[in-house]
Structure 1
Amino acid sequence: MGTADNNPPVGIIGGTGLSTLSGLEITAERPVDTPWGQPSSALVEGRLGDQAVVFLARHGNPHRIPPHQVNYRANLQALYDVGVRTVVGVNAVGGIHPDMGPAHIVIPDQIIDYTWGRASTFFEGELDETTHIDFTWPYTRKARELLIAAARDQGLPFSDFGVYGATQGPRLETAAEVLRLERDGCDLVGMTGMPEAALAAELKMNYVCLALVVNHAAGKSDHIITMAEIEAAIDQGMSGIKRILEVSMSGLGALTPQFS
């Protein structure tokens, strides 16, 4: 996918199961601050292959911040301030679609926001004008194509479509709630997809989601959801996530901002 020597850094926001990234050649690790407060973790700067990357642990490292208390604005602002213009959000999700079982990788194309009470925009307070961003396509098409090509190149089982239903958490959903999500057209359910995607769009950054299914959503299997099941799916599927990241990095770094 070409040389990455002159590309801006690619941001990787890691969720459950990806609080660190093996294979990352670390060059610096530094705490930062933003006008919106501190991000979830220090920024880990380094290289993945020949591409500069900046890694941020969404839930902190160690994993301690629940989804509804993540400072999404600080996370995106911190990445933007160090030059990141393309972000990959890695998310652990529950599978609703019958083909999306544990350890399956999904590169979704749409999202529905069911969250509430989260600081979800940079456009508030004393503004000079009201701003309404276009959010028709929440995930950058060219970034999705690069992840899809990488997954195919690696021969991984994955889905190149999916509607991500973003719920409030931190509790898991009821079976009735999952049925409602399914009626609404959701294929996946997670707790961190929003407002992360919208904030990236407000900053005119490319944004794409790389999701790993870690359990069948509530009511979609004959047993309750356990942490043992989730951890087993993470162990099984995370190597594929990392391979996709490695193969797609230089191409992602070469993208120009979607909304420029």
Structure 2
Amino acid sequence: MRIGIIGGSGLENAVEGEKIIVNTPYGEVYVKIGIMANERVAFIPRHGEKHENPPHKVNYRGNLWALKTLGVERVIATNAVGGIRNGLNPGDLLIPHDFIDFTKGRTYTFYDQKAIHIDLTTPYCPELRKLIIDVAEEMNIKVWDSGVYVCTEGPRFETPSEIRMFRLLGADVVGMTGVPEVILARELKMCYATICVITNYAAGMQKRISQEEVDEIMKGRMKTVIEIINGVVQRIPIERKNCMCGL
């Protein structure tokens, strides 16, 4: 099995198959094994089977380890984010090329017993990113083809002052689940890219932010996201040629 998908509950319905539990050094992980676009894929609901884990409690290491155990080499993820950059609107899709980490209490590595320093010059797989962008373009689906994702600890939303700071640092979108997922994927030598769904304007850019609004926008865009992922799964090459993720 070459392909893994990490996302919310809306994605699970796109994968038909069996539910299994994968035992990892970091606990049990719920995985759905099924077929998407005639390819066998592994789907992990990031927050748990019943969406029981808030962003700062997600078992990031367990999720990635489970995919690696199943033989996954490419990971496609989805994230709900707030728009910081002017011109980004709720419902837009963005494929980030870089990130800024403002999380605080998470475990960021599999290597606690020795010093391993991975290169994150290109944190998101360029081959997988290009494929997502190309597929969306062929489907006439507008996506922003680059952007900087800033990840916060959550589970609260950010303050307007934090958002002003993030904008000065060059961030385009803000979310709570992108880190350390992208880092751990690279440590395990897996290609990783994500489709960000902009579900709201960031704090200070609209009157208030509600979880209901985020959920509604995310649900409304899930059909389009699934169409893109289906197209990507169909076209992922067997061999990795144009990236350094596996080195």
Could you tell me the TM-score, scaled by structure 2's length? 0.94
The answer on 1:115 being equivalent to 2:103 is: yes
Equivalent residue, structure 2, for 1:89: 77
The whole-number CA distance in structure 1 between the counterparts of 2:117 and 2:211 is 40
Moved over 6 A (4+): none
AA at the equivalent of 2:144: S
2:13 maps to what in 1? 22
Structure 2 distance, partners of 1:258, 1:29, is: 29
Equivalent of 1:34, from 24, 32, 49? 24
2:9 maps to 1:9: no
Cα offset, 1:253, TM superposition: 5.5
Q: For the Cα contact (< 8 Å) 2:103–2:152, is it kept in 1?
A: yes
Name the CA distance, whole Å, in 1 between partners of 2:13 and 2:178. Answer: 23
Cα offsets for 1:22-56 (capped at 9, x unmatched)? 33231x211111112223xx110011011111000
Q: Who is 1:3 aligned against?
A: none
Partner SS for 1:121: coil
- RMSD of Structure 2 on Structure 1 (CA): 1.5
Q: Which residue of 2 aligns with 1:259?
A: 246
Q: 1:57 aligns with which of 38, 45, 61?
A: 45
Task: Give the Å deviation of 1:255.
Answer: 4.5
What's the offset of the Cα at 1:100? Answer: 1.7
The 8 Å contact of residues 51 and 250 in structure 1, kept in 2 or not, is answered as yes
Correspondence for 2:191:
206
Q: Secondary structure at the match of 2:24?
A: coil
In structure 1, C-alpha distance between the alignment counterparts of 2:218 and 2:42, rounded to whole Å: 22
| 1:40-189 matched pairs, under 5 angstroms | 42-125=30-113, 127=114, 130-189=115-174
Counterpart-to-counterpart distance in 1, 2:217 and 2:165: 25
2:213 corresponds in structure 1 to 229
The one-letter amino acid paired with 1:237 is R
Q: How many residues align?
A: 244
Mapped to 2, the partners of 1:252 and 1:94 lie a distance apart of 29
Q: Does structure 1 conserve the Cα–Cα contact (< 8 Å) formed by 2:15 and 2:32?
A: no
3-state DSSP of counterpart to 2:149: strand
User: CA contact under 8 A between 1:19 and 1:61: conserved in structure 2?
Assistant: no
SS of equivalent to 2:230 = helix
Q: Which residue, 179, 186, 190 being the options, matches 1:194?
A: 179
Q: Which amino acid aligns with 1:164?
A: Y
Q: 1:229 Cα shift?
A: 1.9
Contact 2:10 2:219 in 1 (8 A): no
Between the aligned partners of 1:187 and 1:52, the Cα distance in structure 2 is 34
- Unpaired stretches in structure 2, ≥5 consecutive residues: none
Shift of 1:233: 1.0
Q: Hey, which of these two has a bigger chunk of strand by percent?
A: 2
**Bigger shift: residues 152-161 or 203-212:** 152-161
